[in-house]
């Protein structure tokens, strides 16, 4: 099912809440704006955020004769999203699954989702280096179109330590690290324009340098970004892409 | 569905991963159900001893000396579970009359040792079990970090293996007599959560402290965690909202970095009929003291964040102790 996809990129981080889903969202929207066709696969099964991030929580997956049809962001069909969030009856329902069941679901996502031709497939992952990660690494093992992984971190040491573990994982399963993104790097006070490093600063860049990995850049904290997600559909209307 | 999964105590010695609808190696149907046909583990499962887990009485015996057991949970990652666990441990241990233990169940991303300033220690085993690492006279802790050869070694483990380690943590760690055991968990609702609630069912968990941040993306996952607590029969002691608001150290102006557009933790607590324990503002010094492994509460006792944290700890203690 992945044959007609040109590039597969994973978004990884050992740490939770550093902005994997936010980075995935922004990457997807930016690529769509540049005219590419993009698919987003959310393999965070116990805490799927993608439907909310794109403001399509109401979306439903349909079954066609060829497989599962992903949810399209709009009629132009340039952005398709697949997430377990679409399969839940109620948004508050928990998915309490042990590893084997998660592995099975990911396999199904890879085998059964009917992506049309895509330029990019972005895979958003949960934190850690466990079942979901092993499963996706196994499924993508023989795919020639896997480009590698974008690793997201926040600047503080506690996060850097977990990210080191994730980089170690990438090495073991042969995912090429395309680069590191340092998220939540500094916050500019809207009242006085003073920049405060809430979660310290520079950690991601130093890590990239010490491991000789490309550093893709640092992204400051901007409450507007959160607001856009929180406001859901209003944002969608103002989006001219 | 949960009870079936819940009763499944996964065996760590299976050579290949279990199939999707595995009845569980210790269930009555092990090796006999439809899913077992063609599974490489079939023969092992068929020959395994059936019945209740023989380790459960050992776990119960270990945990019998612990008065209060508190889980720190959140569906979402990076909201401050470990930070709050460390704060709670420091705050409780400030009372010299109390014995505190902190246990880190985040196997793939253990952060608690760094936050408590003991990441380079290792564990000693004696005939009475594994000795926790002591940070002060009355504060001990246990984490997988102490078992790793290098700080950045990755633990690439499937669920079954993680369950084995969690069981060992509960069965083999020699805590001695404890007033509080605070258990830090990874995000999500999966193996670690099922295992810990499962193994501790008989010993009894006082309840769970749920940590969230104000924005709906986090609340969405936290709702799932509360749903899990309901299903697993764990009492929710209360919700704490972390990272709510930021006061600029330069001008004192307040900003809502993570906007509570849907009412934040407080509304969620009300909706779910749970207790709201308080909110803790963002303070860059919290992150810094976590990185250096020092107690934020000792370093900046006058900061508003410190007061907020201590208020939450007090509210939590009231809630726990009113139970007994």
Q: Which of B22, B79, B251 sits opposite A192 (nearest CB)?
A: B251
A101 closest CA partner among B35, B108, B223: B35
Q: Could you tell me if B155 and B271 lie in one domain?
A: yes
Supply the CATH number for residue B117's domain: 3.40.50.300
Q: Do B228 and A103 touch (CB under 8 A)?
A: no
Query: Closest residue of B to A98, CA-based?
Result: B191
**The token pair that represents A116 in the structure block:** 């049309």
Q: Could you tell me if B289 and B201 lie in one domain?
A: yes
pLDDT exceeds 50 at position A241: no
Q: Do B77 and A16 touch (CB under 8 A)?
A: yes
Range of the structural domain that residue A37 is part of: 5-238
Distance of CA B203 to the CA centre of its chain: 16
Q: What's the structural domain count of chain B?
A: 2
- Nearest CA of chain A to the CA of B139: how many Å? 21
Q: Could you tell me if B239 and B211 lie in one domain?
A: yes
**The token pair that represents B44 in the structure block:** 């092992």
DSSP-derived 3-state class of residue B126: strand
Mean pLDDT of the region A139-147? 94
Mean pLDDT of the region A138-153? 95
Q: Could you tell me if B160 and B121 lie in one domain?
A: yes
pLDDT of residue A125: 97
Q: Which residues of chain B have pLDDT under 50?
A: 1-12
Q: Could you tell me if B26 and B134 lie in one domain?
A: no
Scanning the structure block, which residue is given the tokens 């990185």? Answer: B291
- Is A17 annotated as a binding-site member? yes
Mean pLDDT of the region A182-195? 91
Range of the structural domain that residue B128 is part of: 56-323
- Is B36 annotated as a binding-site member? yes
Q: Could you tell me if B9 and B63 lie in one domain?
A: no
Distance CA A49, CA A138 (A): 23
Tell me the pLDDT band of A237, cut-offs 50, 70 and 90.
Answer: low
Chain A CB contacts of B224 below 8 Å: 46-47, 92-95
Give me chain A's average pLDDT, please.
93
Sheet of A38-42: strand order equals: A71-72, A79-83, A38-42, A118-124, A5-12, A146-153, A177-182, A215-218
- Is B264 annotated as a binding-site member? no
Chain B CB contacts of A226 below 8 Å: 215, 257-259
pLDDT of residue B19: 75
Query: Closest residue of A to B106, CA-based?
Result: A128
Distance CA B292, CA A105 (A): 40
- Is B108 annotated as a binding-site member? no
Q: Could you tell me if B23 and B120 lie in one domain?
A: no
- CA distance from start to end of chain A: 27
**The token pair that represents B229 in the structure block:** 């607590």
pLDDT of residue A135: 97
Among B51, B69, B85, the domain-final residue is: B51
Distance CA B15, CA B26 (A): 15
Distance CA A26, CA A23 (A): 5
Distance CA A123, CA A137 (A): 11
Quick count: other Cβ atoms within 10 Å of Cβ B276?
A: 18
Of the residues A13, A45, A47, A198, the best mutation for testing chain B's interface (the one with the most B CB atoms within 10 Å of its CB) is: A47
HSE at residue B145, side-chain half, CA atoms within 13 A, is: 28
Q: Could you tell me if B21 and B157 lie in one domain?
A: no
**The token pair that represents A30 in the structure block:** 């930016």
Q: Could you tell me if B20 and B64 lie in one domain?
A: no
Q: Could you tell me if B176 and B290 lie in one domain?
A: yes
Mean pLDDT of the region A124-151? 96
Q: Could you tell me if B22 and B163 lie in one domain?
A: no
- Is A96 annotated as a binding-site member? no
User: B37 in the Ramachandran plot: left (φ > 0), alpha (ψ -120 to 50) or beta?
Assistant: beta
Q: Could you tell me if B11 and B74 lie in one domain?
A: no
Query: Closest residue of B to A155, CA-based?
Result: B287
pLDDT of residue B3: 38
Distance CA A218, CA A224 (A): 17
Q: What is the pLDDT of residues B73-107, one digit of tens each?
A: 999 999 999 999 999 999 999 999 999 999 999 99
Q: What is the pLDDT of residues B185-198, one digit of tens each?
A: 999 999 999 999 99
pLDDT of residue A236: 56
B138 closest CA partner among B85, B96, B180: B96
Chain B CB contacts of A100 below 8 Å: 17-20, 22, 159
A99 closest CA partner among B244, B16, B93: B16
Quick count: other Cβ atoms within 10 Å of Cβ B301?
A: 11
- Is B45 annotated as a binding-site member? yes
**The token pair that represents B207 in the structure block:** 């309840």
DSSP-derived 3-state class of residue A182: strand
* Percent helix / strand / coil, chain B, rounded to 5: 40, 15, 45
Query: Closest residue of A to B223, CA-based?
Result: A92
Q: What is the pLDDT of residues A215-231, one digit of tens each?
A: 999 999 988 888 888 88
Chain A CB contacts of B289 below 8 Å: none
**Residue B65 in contact with partner chain A when CB distance is under 8 A:** no
Supply the CATH number for residue A130's domain: 3.40.50.300
DSSP category for residue B202: T
- Residue B224: phi and psi, rounded to 5, are -65, -40
- Nearest CA of chain B to the CA of A187: how many Å? 9
Within B233-283, where are the H helices?
Answer: 264-272
Question: Within the 183-222 window of chain B, which residues sit less than 8 Å (CB to CB) from chain A?
Answer: 186-191, 193-194, 213, 215-218, 220-221
pLDDT of residue B324: 63
Q: What's the structural domain count of chain A?
A: 1
pLDDT of residue B5: 36
Buried b (16+ CB within 10 A) or exposed e, A135-165: bbbebbeeeeebebbbbbbbbbbbbbbbbbb
- Nearest CA of chain A to the CA of B35: how many Å? 12
B4 in Cβ contact with B25 (< 8 Å): no
B265 in Cβ contact with B276 (< 8 Å): yes
**Residue B111 in contact with partner chain A when CB distance is under 8 A:** yes
**Residue B24 in contact with partner chain A when CB distance is under 8 A:** no
Q: Which of B159, B194, B257 sits opposite A96 (nearest CB)?
A: B194
Distance CA B7, CA A47 (A): 23
- Is A16 annotated as a binding-site member? yes
Distance CA B140, CA B96 (A): 13
Report how many Cβ contacts below 8 Å link chain A to chain B.
237
Among B12, B35, B51, the domain-final residue is: B51
């Amino acid at each position: 099912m992945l044959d007609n996809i040109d590039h597969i990129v994973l978004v990884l981080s050992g740490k939770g809440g550093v902005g994997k889903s936010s980075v995935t969202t922004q990457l997807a929207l930016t690529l769509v704006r540049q005219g590419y066709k993009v698919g987003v696969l959310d393999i965070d099964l116990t805490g799927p955020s993608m439907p909310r991030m794109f403001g399509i929580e109401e979306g439903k997956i349909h079954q066609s004769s060829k497989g599962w049809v992903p949810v399209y962001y709009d009629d132009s069909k340039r952005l398709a999203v697949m997430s377990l969030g679409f399969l839940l009856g109620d948004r508050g329902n928990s998915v309490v699954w042990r590893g084997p069941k998660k592995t099975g679901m990911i396999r199904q996502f890879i085998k059964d989702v009917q992506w049309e031709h895509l330029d990019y497939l972005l895979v958003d992952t949960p934190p850690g280096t466990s079942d979901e990660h092993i499963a996706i690494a196994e499924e993508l093992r023989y795919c020639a179109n896997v480009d590698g992984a974008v690793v997201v971190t926040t600047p503080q040491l506690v996060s850097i330590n977990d990210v080191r573990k994730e980089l170690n994982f990438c090495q073991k399963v042969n995912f090429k690290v395309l680069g590191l993104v340092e998220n939540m790097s500094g916050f500019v006070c809207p009242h006085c324009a003073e920049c405060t490093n809430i979660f310290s600063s520079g950690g991601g860049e130093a890590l990239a340098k010490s491991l000789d990995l490309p550093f893709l850049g640092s992204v400051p904290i901007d409450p507007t970004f959160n607001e856009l997600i929180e406001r859901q559909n209003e944002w969608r209307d103002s989006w001219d892409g | 569905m949960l009870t079936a999964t819940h009763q499944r105590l996964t065996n760590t010695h299976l050579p290949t991963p279990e199939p999707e609808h595995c009845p569980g190696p210790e269930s009555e149907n092990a090796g006999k159900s439809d899913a077992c046909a063609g599974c490489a583990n079939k023969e092992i499962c068929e020959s395994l001893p059936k019945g209740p887990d023989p380790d459960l009485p050992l776990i119960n015996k270990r945990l019998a000396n612990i008065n209060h057991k508190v889980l720190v949970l959140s569906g979402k990652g990076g909201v401050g579970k470990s930070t709050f666990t460390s704060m709670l441990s420091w705050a409780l241990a400030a009372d010299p009359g109390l014995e505190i233990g902190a246990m880190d169940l985040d196997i793939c991303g253990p952060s608690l040792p760094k936050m408590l300033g003991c990441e380079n220690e290792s564990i000693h085993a004696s005939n009475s079990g594994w000795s926790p690492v002591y940070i002060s006279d009355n504060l001990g802790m246990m984490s997988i970090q102490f078992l790793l050869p290098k700080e950045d070694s990755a633990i690439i483990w499937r669920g079954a293996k993680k369950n084995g380690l969690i069981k060992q943590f509960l069965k083999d760690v020699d805590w001695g007599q404890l007033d509080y055991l605070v258990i830090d968990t990874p995000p999500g609702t999966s193996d670690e959560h099922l295992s810990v609630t499962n193994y501790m069912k008989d010993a009894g968990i006082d309840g769970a402290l749920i940590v969230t941040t104000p924005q709906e993306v986090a609340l969405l996952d936290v709702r799932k965690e509360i749903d899990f607590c309901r299903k697993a029969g764990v009492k929710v002691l209360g919700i704490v909202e972390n990272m709510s608001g930021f006061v600029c150290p330069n001008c004192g102006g307040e900003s809502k970095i993570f906007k509570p557009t849907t009412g934040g933790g407080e509304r969620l607590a009300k909706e779910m009929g749970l207790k709201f324990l308080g909110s803790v503002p963002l303070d860059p010094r919290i992150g810094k003291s976590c990185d250096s492994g020092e107690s934020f509460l000792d370093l900046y006792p006058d900061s508003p964040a410190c007061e907020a944290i201590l208020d939450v700890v007090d509210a939590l203690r009231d809630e726990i102790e009113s139970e007994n």
